[in-house]
Structure 1
């Protein structure tokens, strides 16, 4: 069995998933398909060396460690303070759900306070307590719980059709229109897709032919890879994200994130893909004509690993539609709903989207 190799960037993000974001080691191990002992060693090394880990020297200063602990405590206190305030925006999904929230927490907060905060009447709540449910309401309640669970698992990005497939997989019998009605009734709405053609103004040196011809399908894994990169705005500046996608499974087999648009970024993404999938016998690498992909070091890496280089036609974004589709999903389902104050915060969120949602669980319409 080929020994798996992980890039330093992957190790740092995996360790931060446990140390910073609070995900359990067991859950992170399952999500990332990394052995628990290996992940535990990464966490220990990251805790010892911080940002200088993998490889690196030095430790966090005691003052920095204390400051990080205090920031976590403040964040926790703010979350507790704003619990009911946040509940108002999260629970605007119809009177039934809001009344259920009031009934659940009336031993914690006064009913009049919660009703005022949620914008419902106290008389309506007390009438709801004594009113028997109809058969349809009971069915909608059971089905609605499954619909909401699927919607939340997708980070609120699934539309009715994908949620419907999840509901059918759970063993329920219902039509697509029922799912649409329940999602509308409970205000579960995916973000609308917005398409915008980018402009290509980069200089080109080595140009490869476009032999893929928009055939974004493969008979097996590791036959066709498409690559591209995008950028995400943070308060510290741009974060650039490069990916390599296997067209057979639509998995992100390689990725890299940098604060500068360099050839090293796309090289690191390709190296991660090769480490994960091994050296190919015959493989196509399809990208745009950006200078990062045309430079000699990247082209030499392709040649040394037996990968055939293909490129899209100049200014024709549809020739790389598979990669553009992923970036569209990333931004609509995750990035456009966030405000990133640091590049590290954006990097951690993109890592979470790729390795804990998009690769292992997200449903892909194409396949």
Structure 2
């Protein structure tokens, strides 16, 4: 039987490198603890050193965001080194003992016995073993590494529940309380704040459609019911507006468009992308609010050409389109409110990366049983059919 090759993401590799660089563990210790191959770990260390030296490392060149992260890590590492010097000045004897214990561990890898190494270095075996017992055990080290890697991979957005499912997906047994403990010890906390600004105007004289969807958000098949809306993104250059189309079956973003204004053309561009990607059959229900853009003659004509049934929320009722509202909240919590965009182009790139690189293929969705939208569509779970009455 062929053994399946293990796959590790960049966040996990970085966490393993930090165990060697920052925590003083040897490569052999890390490999035994994390059940990794020594060749792979040394390759990750070499890549890390190459990137710090200014090279692109093994693989793709660093992005501007990765370069900023590397710069911050270098500054943090310098601060830790400066702090270490001060600690050595005040507790030299303790530091010497700790260094000696690490040397003993390294010498064990060279087939030197503990008693011989301790005798030569002038430390007691009892002190060495007491120091080793104080370190976390292998299972806890593995759990901590995977939790920190999953948190970093989520863009520092996952709470304890999603982190638990993300770590379990890596084959690590862990409970939510243990995840919380690791988060507290490592200072990991997802913070966000709510903001709201109206983006559509429902005070108009154009005809509005009935609420065909009627909050039937649990849809049994793809391309049966979509939702759409517009939100705003703050940049130093001014507002950038984002229109999105979401498939209710998998909560996958199937179309989006951005512009510095929000005319009808913005929502039509997002819908055109969704139609090109998904090619839905006639009879698709597309729900939105009562904004003037969605009630416009141009938009309604586009729906009619493709045989799409228009559905609109009741006046002033945001709960009628809650899946779309929730996506926008997630986007802002997990990405937009953690950034300060210098201009529209930077915001476009970052939001597109969030949708294409994180939300659709990676982000765990509680409604889908903690799998990503792409994974849910690849291996759909059985769902009870729910009819969408076409109240035209």
TM-score by length of 2: 0.64
Cα distance, 1:194 vs. partner?
A: 3.2
Deviation track 1:72-130 (CA, whole Å, cap 9, x = no partner) reads 999999877654324589xxxxxxxxxxxx6xxxxxxxx4x253699x98757666553
Tell me the secondary structure at the aligned position of residue 167 of structure 2: helix
- CA distance in 1 between counterparts of 2:315 and 2:254 reads 26
Deviation track 1:136-190 (CA, whole Å, cap 9, x = no partner) reads 4433221111111111111111111111112212222222100110011111111
Cα distance, 1:197 vs. partner?
A: 8.2
Where does structure 2 lack aligned partners over 5 or more consecutive residues? 1-61, 102-130, 369-392
Tell me the secondary structure at the aligned position of residue 309 of structure 2: strand
- CA distance in 1 between counterparts of 2:244 and 2:305 reads 20
**Is it true that 1:158 corresponds to 2:145 in the alignment?**
no
Tell me the secondary structure at the aligned position of residue 327 of structure 2: helix
Where does structure 1 lack aligned partners over 5 or more consecutive residues? 1-71, 90-101, 103-110
Alignment of 1:232-243 (within 5 A): 232-243=233-244
Which residue of structure 1 lines up, in the alignment, with residue 179 of structure 2?
179
Which residue of structure 1 lines up, in the alignment, with residue 128 of structure 2?
none
Cα distance, 1:243 vs. partner?
A: 0.3
Q: Structure 1 186/209 Cα, relative in aligned 2: closer, same or farther at 3 Å?
A: same
Tell me the secondary structure at the aligned position of residue 227 of structure 2: strand
**Is it true that 1:115 corresponds to 2:80 in the alignment?**
no
- CA distance in 2 between counterparts of 1:301 and 1:219 reads 25
TM-score by length of 1: 0.68
Q: Structure 1 88/155 Cα, relative in aligned 2: closer, same or farther at 3 Å?
A: farther
Deviation track 1:227-253 (CA, whole Å, cap 9, x = no partner) reads 001001111100000000000010000
Cα distance, 1:281 vs. partner?
A: 2.7
Tell me the secondary structure at the aligned position of residue 242 of structure 1: strand
Count matched residues: 276
Which residue of structure 1 lines up, in the alignment, with residue 362 of structure 2?
361
**Is it true that 1:203 corresponds to 2:203 in the alignment?**
yes
Alignment of 1:50-89 (within 5 A): 83-87=73-77
- CA distance in 2 between counterparts of 1:82 and 1:117 reads 21
Alignment of 1:1-367 (within 5 A): 83-87=73-77, 111=81, 113-115=82-84, 129=99, 130=101, 131-134=131-134, 136-192=136-192, 194=194, 198=198, 201-204=201-204, 205-367=206-368
Is the 2:268–2:299 contact (alpha carbons within 8 Å) kept by the matching residues of 1?
yes
- CA distance in 1 between counterparts of 2:196 and 2:64 reads 40
Is the 1:199–1:315 contact (alpha carbons within 8 Å) kept by the matching residues of 2?
no
Deviation track 1:231-282 (CA, whole Å, cap 9, x = no partner) reads 0111110000000000001000000000111100000000000000014232
Which residue of structure 2 lines up, in the alignment, with residue 95 of structure 1?
none
- CA distance in 2 between counterparts of 1:250 and 1:294 reads 24
Cα distance, 1:308 vs. partner?
A: 0.2
Tell me the secondary structure at the aligned position of residue 262 of structure 2: coil
Q: Structure 1 357/80 Cα, relative in aligned 2: closer, same or farther at 3 Å?
A: closer
Cα distance, 1:206 vs. partner?
A: 2.1
- CA distance in 1 between counterparts of 2:86 and 2:276 reads 53
- CA distance in 1 between counterparts of 2:166 and 2:285 reads 33
Q: RMSD value over aligned CA atoms? A: 3.2
Tell me the secondary structure at the aligned position of residue 231 of structure 1: strand
Q: Structure 1 159/229 Cα, relative in aligned 2: closer, same or farther at 3 Å?
A: same
- CA distance in 2 between counterparts of 1:289 and 1:273 reads 20
